[in-house]
Amino acid sequence: QVQLVQSGAEVKKPGASVKVSCKASGYTLTNYDINWVRQATGQGLEWMGWMNPNSGDTGYAQKFQGRVTMTSDTSINTAYMELRSLISEDTAIYYCVRNAPFTGDFDYWGQGALVTVSS
Amino acid sequence: QAVLTQPSSLSASPGTSASLTCTLRIGINVGTYSIYWFQQKPGSPPQYLLKYNSDSDKRQGSGVPSRFSGSKDASANAGILLISGLQSEDEADYYCMIWHSSAWVFGGGTKLTVL
């Protein structure tokens, strides 16, 4: 069965970087896009960007441009999201999500990774 | 003004129907967008429910009951998620989403209470 398993919770200081992993199983990573969506506690969903693990193409939300990088290692079926220059407002659960290219069928979600930014 | 606006909360009784709206900002025509809907229960990731563009272009998420359906109200410039035969397990947050200006955009979500 399809699963996206994310790395564990992280605590970072302001100004630091965090890299969250998302290991796919039950399908081939290169056949679908991976999106990243975050959710602050008690708040709504915020889309951060997408990547195509086959081509390496990416697209980032304007808000995160210059501060986020999405990559993948297809040899281990794993996608990554790195967010730099962290501020307290980046404290949130970060989800990886699979979708067929050019669709919004976000059909499988990772369990989420809590990133806490605190001094 | 936000691209997508959802009412923050809605209450409905078991066995009845609930209509959740997702209103597009003025100048963004609902007729040209596919609307995607997600359900999120506390402590869990969102779950994909369905996509609705038109009656001939729609898609149900895997395992999603047919009592969840989508539509559009052109006069209100809104997408609609209709949940019929409400059950207590339908109590959750619901989000709509569209692809707009090269980005996926979520609505703020509606908390549905079934009581």
Contacts of B71 (CB under 8 A, 6+ apart): B52, B79, B80, B82
Please tell me the distance from the alpha carbon of residue A93 to that of residue A6, in angstroms, as a whole number.
11
Q: Is B63 on the interface with A (CB under 8 A)?
A: no
**Contact assignment for B109 to A105 by CB distance below 8 Å:** no
Residue of B nearest to A46 (CA): B106
Task: Tell me if chain B has a CB within 8 Å of the CB of A53.
Answer: no
Q: How far separated are the first and last CA of chain A, in Å rounded?
A: 40
- The answer to whether the Cβ–Cβ distance between A47 and B98 falls below 8 Å is no
Q: Give the model's pLDDT for residue A101.
A: 78
User: What pLDDT sits at residue A102?
Assistant: 79
Q: What is the pLDDT of residues B33-92, one digit of tens each?
A: 999 999 999 999 999 999 999 999 999 999 999 999 999 999 999 999 999 999 999 999
Which of A105, A107, A108, A111 to substitute to test the interface with B, most B CBs within 10 Å?
A105
Q: Tell whether the model's pLDDT for residue A118 goes beyond 90.
A: yes
Look at residue B44 in the predicted model and tell me its pLDDT: 97
**Closest residue to A109, CB basis, from B36, B45, B98:** B45
| Burial readout A56-75 (b: 16 or more C-beta within 10 A, e: otherwise) | eebebbeebeebbbbebeee
pLDDT band at B110 (very low <50, low <70, confident <90, very high): very high
H or E element: which one contains B80?
Answer: strand B78-83
